[in-house]
Structure 1
């Protein structure tokens, strides 16, 4: 049965305290833990093997699908607000409407560099639709017959395919319901976001227009739910014309209006609580060289004492010391999330002219 040598622990801890000048609290606490490991009566071989296991690597956690929908009105004018929202809320999917003037997909992709960008042109100077999806989700394009103002992509989550569609319908144009219906047939799970300019008292508007009646009938036919009823999305009309729609149960989706008014539409952040994504965070190892150095100075004499007491041959001592150095280096290593370059590192210098 392994025992703990309290006398040795106090002795080594005092050595660490004596040499702790300039060390931060994290390093000192880690030193205490290494000394505690050392003072158990495991064989040194067993101890070194334990130290060589990846130490304190964070568990990969799951997270919910979040989607940011924003009628941005003018991409270049309001891109700073967009980037701030991405930095703060870290949506897996972004839906944009009304980009204003023709903007190359490559220009958008350069700014949203960690997203796969899919874009449809508009029918007027204020139109267009974009779907941008985190590249780690490996999205694929969905055929929308190259129609303007509607774009779609698909992702696979837990072996289930989800179509994600962004569409813009100007007040003077008909809703693209035939194309939407065709896209819906590709998957049993669909999420539709967009500025429909469709008003209906059913989703909290003060009046119902023709587009609202048509959309209501289409939603019932396709068994779709609106997740942001009575949420004011238009600053001009004070009504609900930007909609988050899906085949997902209403109670499992939470939508919030975000406090940005650079555009004349409020952004919407939708959280799909039942669509769970696997966390793809990458971690890198960093060696705490201050910890390694002080523990090497404290424990080297312990290694020499063991070699002397065990009558080790020189090659045996050398092998043990090599194992000790390798194990201590790993034990002095911590894991840190690999940081992506902040979206704020890039700013377009193009002017809206």
Structure 2
């Protein structure tokens, strides 16, 4: 309705195009966002992690207490995963990082994982750790990164009044002594991270804790709360893509078809071509929005997430009070959940197969698997010599093309050369000759042949946009072509 009102207002097409034109958003820079979560066995809390990743979209997620799920290699969309087993059934850590982040594994040990990534041209070390209860942190591993930029997050099971606990334990005392001797610092939340006590045992350690912000999230069904860490370091650039409502684009063109049909007869071909091209480009922008390319896909359906939480709740209830009634209730809920999840994944897979089978979508799916090989450029051959110096290569190519596009040199004593030059001059000075008019059927036939390529011209139109035009506009294209053909000098102006 807004577009129709703007079209009916007393504005020129040029001013309307300027208003509808959109600039691609600048890439905003964000500081790295971390998520730390002790999942108390990932097999039973996949839905929790899926929902957290969808809602908060952290750049890096550290999961501790993963358990037997390490062997299954559970995957989350838009995230790469690196895992490391632990020493007990609730040990093991996983680091999830977004696809556009590049990193490599530096060190692996039981319940410990260290990766290195580059941000703002600086290398930083990100670690995940799980310290089992009644155990000391592996100081021999932590001390290796003493003189480096490092950030290690995990469940330390270390309590001390210095970071908000009500009591100290042996692990907490040793960790505080290590801080004092090395000068390293703690990144600790201000609220308890364990649901079973008031202790803060999930936190991070670093060489510099200045500028960090933490937030304890009251979500999830694990016995630990997930924690968000907003860092002052590492800026990640987001990319955007254009999402166009082509149905709206075509509908609006149908509404204004009669206007453009009348305009083609009242304007010269040059003016109409420029105005119509600008209008198509601006209309595409008006019908488009810019989406974040790293936006996480939608999670499971709400009913499936609710069912997964009900299964986890029933399992925890059975663990606290092991009765046959609670066991049967848990097993029945689990069976229903598995059936619903299998049905959801099957329908999703079938939709993908159906999409692949339609038209030429198979190549959209398979094309990324094929890589064009281009041999390495080793220089340019000049006679028997291979020249590799850049300035000499540019000079040779410039001389070649300057001669290639220069007026031809001919032998004035050669009759064949003189005849060719005479015919060329006759063609050059021949007056413009109109072409035969084309029919709409010919235009429609060619219209179906050309490929909808997305590369745009100077005003922002492309073959893909032209391919979206309703069939009624083929009459306008026919009239425009015939006007150009009659005049015979369209491309000379």
**Is the partner of 2:88 in helix, strand or coil?**
coil
Which of 173, 178, 188 pairs up with 2:135? 173
Give deviations 1:219-249, integer Å, cap 9, x for gaps: 2344333222542011123201111223344
| Consecutive unaligned residues in structure 1, runs of 5 or more | 1-23, 41-46, 308-316
**How many pairs align?**
300
| Consecutive unaligned residues in structure 2, runs of 5 or more | 309-336, 340-493
Retained in 2: the 8 A contact 1:143–1:183?
no
Give the TM-score, by structure 2 length.
Answer: 0.55
Distance 1:134 1:28, change over 3 A: same
Does residue 298 in structure 1 map to residue 259 in structure 2?
Answer: yes
Retained in 2: the 8 A contact 1:118–1:152?
no
**Within 5 A, what are the aligned runs for 1:240-255?**
240-250=200-210, 252-255=211-214
Does residue 140 in structure 1 map to residue 104 in structure 2?
Answer: yes
Greater RCO, CA 8 A, separation 6+:
1
Distance 1:189 1:123, change over 3 A: same
Distance 2:231 2:6 in 1: 40
Distance 1:132 1:99 in 2: 13
Aligned to 2:111: 149
Distance 2:11 2:200 in 1: 62
Aligned to 2:49: 82
Structure 1 window deviating more from structure 2 (81-90 vs 213-222): it is 213-222
Aligned to 2:4: 28
Give deviations 1:299-325, integer Å, cap 9, x for gaps: 443343222xxxxxxxxx2x5544444
Aligned to 1:224: 184
**Is the partner of 1:214 in helix, strand or coil?**
helix
Aligned to 1:182: 144
Aligned to 2:86: 122
Give the TM-score, by structure 1 length.
Answer: 0.75
Distance 1:191 1:207 in 2: 25
Retained in 2: the 8 A contact 1:116–1:133?
yes
Give deviations 1:10-32, integer Å, cap 9, x for gaps: xxxxxxxxxxxxxx33x336646
Deviation at 1:70?
0.3
**Is the partner of 2:300 in helix, strand or coil?**
helix
Deviation at 1:191?
1.2
Q: CA RMSD in A?
A: 3.0
Distance 2:174 2:208 in 1: 21
Retained in 2: the 8 A contact 1:140–1:154?
yes
Distance 1:100 1:29, change over 3 A: farther
Give deviations 1:117-171, integer Å, cap 9, x for gaps: 1111010111001111111111222223xx1101122221111122111100001
Q: Choose 1 or 2 for highest CA Rg.
A: 2
